[in-house]
Amino acid sequence: MHDANGTKLGYIWLQPGVSRLNGWTLLYVMFVSIGLLVFLNFQQPYVLEVMLGIPEAEHGRVIAKMGLVHEIVLISLVGPFGALSDRIGRRPVLAMGYLFIAAGYMAYPFATSILELTAYRAIFAIGAAAIICTFTTVLSDYPQEISRGKMVALGSILNGIGLSLLTGVGGQVINQLTESGYDPVVAGRMAITGVGLVAVVSAVATSLGLRGETLKLEHEKIPLLTLLKEGFGAARNPRIALAYASAFIARGDNVVVGAYLSLWAQQTGMAVNLTAAEAQSKAALLIPLIMAAPLPLAALFGYLNDKLDRVTGLIIASALGTVGYLAFGSLDSPLLGIAVPIGFVLGTGMITSVISSQTLIGQEADPRITGSTLGAFNFFGSVGTLVATVLGGYLFDIWTAGGPFLMMGIGSLLVLIFAVYVRLRHGLAANTRA
């Protein structure tokens, strides 16, 4: 059932007090945010190769070390930002996040050393922490339960479209600028700082369009440390524990695909005498294919996820992710034709894992500490991203280029086993409709 006092945005019922402008702004946030968070990973191989001249054999480890700093900052701040959004509201925290992201983008391509590049990445990570914990909380706040799966699915579709456009267009822009006669370093700076301007626009849009929450008295009285403890304590609910485990794997997806697929494609392309810009251009076509091709299935999965028990949906998503990652990581090259259908399965597993974990945590979270629970959810996602970034980089350099993907496939398999256990041991959720 739905609350008729709420507003309807298309086929989605919004909570009472959430306007259509608020809903449209949330959809914009979903469209732009993941692309902004991932595009820097996609551009790292070009920055290392062209702008800093780092030897190719060291790229994986350099990316891993920068990723370690990024994730330490993220892990340190994502929980506090989630609790802070419960105290002062989602809107100011999210807008601040976009501004830090913009600063990181505008400084990053002007770095002259790995140390400087890492410092700029840390600035970027502050913004990433604020954005990740806040927009997932807003996504949990705005839809009514009857429309939660549909809203998350629509948001995931917009994530995929936004990411595909940003990586696809951004990757092609550098190649086109260099072909037009621009210096490769200048071309990279123009493309990357241009994305920073998108982040500035997003800060303004968020400030004008999101709802200004009426703060709850209990959040004003409860200390931040208590809110954090309550968020982590929520894992006593096995379904929330499963959602946290899923976040650990699902958040690493974007790093592996954004950074290591791009690096793998660039090195494979340059091995057959392509320039760095040309190789990056090919990667810019492959990543949107993985992210965008499964979007129609994501819409269908969002509908089914409102009908199925959410743990059952997570079982399906984890199975797809396991098959897709293990098969993709076993390829000799990501530029082979067979990479396209395998990438489709991988992308389907990625997007359905995000939908299922997000709807599960949104369903199970205590409304009184939603921000704190989502902060803990994103903390585990950040730890997963750290592991995917650091371990993936060393596997890439020392073992095989497909190593990061094989690692993610094993992780998806473990979540699948956990999800089957929760489903068999604890049965259906009380509010399952079918």
Q: Where are the domains of the chain?
A: 15-209+216-426
43-88 pLDDT, tens digit each: 887 788 888 888 777 777 788 788 788 878 887 887 788 778 777 7
Three-state DSSP at 93 gives helix
Question: Residues 232, 27, 159, CA angle at the centre, nearest 5°?
Answer: 75
Would you state the pLDDT for residue 427? 62
Of 206, 19, 211, give the one whose Cα is nearest residue 95.
206
Q: What are the backbone dihedrals phi and psi of residue 9, each rounded to the nearest 5 degrees, phi first?
A: -110, 95
DSSP letters along 406-430, please?
Answer: HHHHHHHHHHHHHHHHHHHHH-S-T
DSSP letters along 309-322, please?
Answer: -HHHHHHHHHHHHH
d(CA 236, CA 225): 18
Range of lowest pLDDT (32-36, 200-204, 423-427) = 423-427
pLDDT at 197 over 90: yes
226-266 pLDDT, tens digit each: 666 777 787 788 888 898 888 888 877 767 877 788 788 77
DSSP 8-class letter at 49 = I
**Residue owning tokens 């410092």:** 119
299-352 pLDDT, tens digit each: 777 677 667 788 888 898 899 999 999 999 898 888 777 888 898 888 888 888
360-395 pLDDT, tens digit each: 887 777 776 676 777 778 778 878 877 887 888 888
Token digits for 18? 């959430």
CATH of 15-209+216-426, one of 1.20.1250.20, 1.10.3720.10, 1.20.58.390, 1.10.3210.10: 1.20.1250.20
Of 332, 337, 346, 246, give the one whose Cα is nearest residue 291.
346
Burial string for 210-234 (b: 16+ CB within 10 Å, else e) reads: bbebeeeeebeebebeebbbbbbeb
For residue 175, give the amino acid letter: N
d(CA 305, CA 295): 15
**Residue owning tokens 């006593």:** 236
d(CA 191, CA 308): 43
pLDDT at 218 over 60: no
d(CA 377, CA 244): 5
